[in-house]
Chains A and B, each alone.
Chain A
Amino acid sequence: MPKVYNWQIGREMNYWYEQNRPKRQASAVFDTNKCIACQTCTAACKTTWTSGKGQEYMYWNNVETKPWGSYPMGWDAKVLEALGPQRWVKKGERYIYEGKTIFEAAPTTERVLGYLPNDLDYAYPNRGEDETDQPLIQEKFYLRLPHDLWFFYLPRICNHCTYPACLASCPRMAIYKRNEDGIVLIDQERCRAYRECVQACPYKKVFYNHVTRISEKCVMCYPAVEKGIWPRCMRTCIGKIRMFGFLNTPDKADPENPLDFLVHIRKVALPLLPQLGLEPNIYYIPPIHVSNNRFLHMLFGPYALQALESYKKAMNGEDMELVGALLLNVSTDRIMTKFKVLEGKEVVGYTENGHEAVRIPIKEPTIVRPFFDEGLKVYRHNIT
């Protein structure tokens, strides 16, 4: 198997094909701290792409509640268990992954380590939301939760991976990664329903259509992206948790590119399960209130706490540039490739051709009105 470089695990790894990075890579950052599980993103995707007969069970975008929820059921636990020990070793400032990726752990007969979900696994897309894993415990005067008091929402779409397992697993080469934007697509004319991709994708983001009897996956709204517009799940996000754009590799990071700034410069956003080895291109700002650091480490890799430190600085007003970058989330539906924070007061986002796409005040102007209005002779409940 050829060797490719995966910067997320800090080392070379085996992959089915030679390294062939696209000209640029469509990518996004999701701030888990702001997601309210409203599922607007899910509905936006569903009505756009998966409303047909045979697609009923499919959610190319889903939002699951961690730690109990997962769609399809147990996808993460199953793949992590099959993978075996996942050890990271610190060398200087960097962590190197010393465990195996799903390509390296593949059994002799396979290209990738994977499994095929059952139909019932897809039947509980919202399991775990505001639920416990066991019944509440009855104490003398109150009910107690059977586990730690934290959970968070994890919105998930296809990661349009740099080293897609779906693409590697297809013996017909019916899956391709576009050179112009790195979007991973299934050729609907060439697919012959082997479902190798459904089996191989550890994130379980390829689905089998029960009626057309071939496989389908998230297309990152490529017709919109080609026009410089954000995908639908991103631009409809109520919680404004999402930032869409193009991401460079760390050695070519451009501090003015909002995605590079968040991922490579401030290192506030991290890949989901980097140890699997796919170099996924959706990045997450980890939740700040999760008390179990080992859980965060498992889900987002060894830089999870560092990312939180960075995030907290912005929350405390110590990093206005980061505050500015985060304010660009869902502030426009046009793809921005540059941003600037002007005198700590405004953040401006620019499209690829240099046009100003959006301008936002860093601090919203606040007017405090008197509690008692002399003119109207009334008291105010809301004075700001």
Chain B
Amino acid sequence: MSEKELQKKKERKKLSLPIFIALAAVASISLTFFIKRLQEKPKVKPEADIIAAKVEKVPFNDPFSPLWEKVPSYSIPLTQQATVKPMKFTTPKDPLKVKAVHDGEWIAFLLEWNDTSPDIHTIKTKEFRDACAVLLTNYPAPPEAWFMGTKDYPATILHWKADWQMDIDEGFQDLEKAFPNLSIDMYPPMKEAIVRGKPPPTKDLPEEARAWMVGWKSGNPLSLPDKKSPVEKLIGIGPGSLTPLPTQDASGKGIWKVGVWRVVLSKKMKGSDSKEGEINLLSEKMYSVAFTLWSGHEGDRGSRKNPSMLKTLYIE
């Protein structure tokens, strides 16, 4: 071996040691990471029927916000209500389209369904409204929770009503709307007040004349002419138990356009009435959810409705 060759061999030896050390270090760090990854829960979204996508700001009163186009749409089949009498045996042809978003403070659902004839009044005896609802309860809910919740799984229900939407958009839909030729002599005790038989708007009736409007007097939310939101927030612990919650802070809006209802229903994620059983919703958690439609011209109301089955909702 020449002196040159000996020199080269020495240099190669000098180089291979740090490479080996470097490789060993990389391998040991990778192994640590690998072991650590094995110990941690993997961060994958659990399987859910509906995922409420995280957005910057929830469009809680806008069913036509461009934001809705960016989130996935879920097709939810609706079924008959054949459990509690009175029942409804017929079902809508098409499934309900549902989208959901949240911004950490509010959660909103967009419900969309076909309806060729919007039913927006409940003034006459045979008039029933179009309506839709979202039922939320803790996961995994027992099957009975589907019927408006149970004692252990109270259901928070967001209920949008087409007639309330009209009251808000166009002002209280008064008696004269349904009976335009109405003429009246007097409503006691205000006999002087009725000019040419045309009654004053309900909202302007004096306190004394409201004595005959017992629903309004007793504070029944259905009877109040001054509606604040088209979405009512209710709690249920079983069939027939539906009760409005004290803080009515749910929001939303429904618009009917060319044969389609698009309705947003939204609520605060942290329930303002959690003492009364309202649900608190957290990010990265799973919940049980159900959706329901009422079709006014089919005489739907109360238990005459088309609900979905209980579904899972994951909040991103």
Whether A214 contacts B223 by the Cβ 8 Å rule is yes
CB proximity of A170 to chain B, nearest CB, Å = 8
Q: At the interface with chain B, which of A44-52, A133-141, A275-283, A318-326?
A: A44-52
Most interface-central of A56, A191, A208, A210 (chain B CB within 10 A): A210
Assess A212 versus B85: contact at CB under 8 Å? Given A52-B209, A53-B187: no
Q: Which residues from chain B contact A195 at a C-beta distance below 8 Å?
A: 125, 301
Residue interface mask B181-206, A partner, CB < 8 A = 1: 01010111000000000010010010
Whether B126 contacts A118 by the Cβ 8 Å rule is yes
Write the chain B residue with the least CB distance to A196: B86
For the complex, count residues of B whose C-beta is within 8 A of A. 45
Q: At the interface with chain B, which of A59-67, A78-86, A109-117, A373-381?
A: A109-117
Whether B123 contacts A51 by the Cβ 8 Å rule is no
Most interface-central of B85, B124, B188, B303 (chain A CB within 10 A): B85
Residue interface mask B203-220, A partner, CB < 8 A = 1: 001000111111110111
- Contact for B215 among A49, A110, A196, A213, CB less than 8 A: A213
Q: Which residues from chain B contact A196 at a C-beta distance below 8 Å?
A: 86, 302
Q: Is A211 an interface residue (CB 8 A)?
A: yes
Q: Which residues from chain A contact B209 at a C-beta distance below 8 Å?
A: 52-53
CB proximity of A321 to chain B, nearest CB, Å = 43
CB neighbors of A among B282-316 (8 A): 299, 301-303
Q: How far is the CA of A119 from the CA of B239 in the complex (A)?
A: 30
Write the chain B residue with the least CB distance to A110: B86
Whether B86 contacts A109 by the Cβ 8 Å rule is yes
Q: Is A194 an interface residue (CB 8 A)?
A: yes
Q: Is B102 an interface residue (CB 8 A)?
A: no
Q: Which residues from chain A contact B184 at a C-beta distance below 8 Å?
A: 53, 56
Whether A192 contacts B122 by the Cβ 8 Å rule is no
- Contact for B182 among A51, A52, A56, A189, CB less than 8 A: A56
- Contact for A53 among B175, B219, B301, CB less than 8 A: B175
- Contact for A189 among B186, B219, B299, CB less than 8 A: B219
Q: Which residues from chain B contact A118 at a C-beta distance below 8 Å?
A: 125-126
Q: Is B88 an interface residue (CB 8 A)?
A: yes
- Contact for A54 among B126, B175, B186, B218, CB less than 8 A: B175
- Contact for A212 among B86, B126, B187, B216, CB less than 8 A: B216
Q: Is A41 an interface residue (CB 8 A)?
A: no
For the complex, count residues of A whose C-beta is within 8 A of B. 40
Q: Is B178 an interface residue (CB 8 A)?
A: yes
Chain B binding surface, main DSSP class: loop
Q: How far is the CA of A145 from the CA of B301 in the complex (A)?
A: 47
CB neighbors of A among B116-138 (8 A): 122-126
Whether A212 contacts B125 by the Cβ 8 Å rule is no
- Contact for B220 among A122, A188, A198, CB less than 8 A: A188
Write the chain B residue with the least CB distance to A208: B125
Q: Is B62 an interface residue (CB 8 A)?
A: no
Q: Is B174 an interface residue (CB 8 A)?
A: yes
Q: Which residues from chain B contact A294 at a C-beta distance below 8 Å?
A: none
Most interface-central of B125, B126, B299 (chain A CB within 10 A): B125
Q: Which residues from chain B contact A193 at a C-beta distance below 8 Å?
A: 122, 222, 301
Whether A211 contacts B89 by the Cβ 8 Å rule is no
Assess A111 versus B215: contact at CB under 8 Å? Given A51-B188, A212-B223: no
Q: How far is the CA of A195 from the CA of B179 in the complex (A)?
A: 20
Most interface-central of B84, B216, B222 (chain A CB within 10 A): B216
Q: How far is the CA of A118 from the CA of B223 in the complex (A)?
A: 22
Assess A198 versus B85: contact at CB under 8 Å? Given A53-B205, A172-B240, A213-B215: no
Assess A212 versus B220: contact at CB under 8 Å? Given A53-B187, A109-B87: yes
CB neighbors of B among A147-185 (8 A): 169, 171-173
Q: Is B242 an interface residue (CB 8 A)?
A: yes
Q: How far is the CA of A54 from the CA of B299 in the complex (A)?
A: 21
Whether A213 contacts B123 by the Cβ 8 Å rule is yes
Q: Which residues from chain B contact A194 at a C-beta distance below 8 Å?
A: 301-302
Whether B302 contacts A212 by the Cβ 8 Å rule is no
Q: Is A260 an interface residue (CB 8 A)?
A: no
Could you give 20 example pairs across A and B, Cβ below 8 Å? A51-B187, A52-B211, A53-B184, A55-B212, A109-B85, A109-B86, A111-B85, A116-B299, A171-B84, A171-B240, A171-B303, A172-B242, A191-B215, A191-B220, A209-B223, A210-B175, A211-B213, A211-B223, A212-B216, A213-B122
| Interface residue ranges, A against B (CB under 8 Å) | 47, 49-56, 108-111, 116-119, 122, 169, 171-173, 188-189, 191-196, 198, 207-214, 216
A-B pairs, top 7 by smallest CB distance, nearest first, are A52-B212, A212-B215, A212-B223, A194-B302, A109-B87, A208-B125, A214-B215
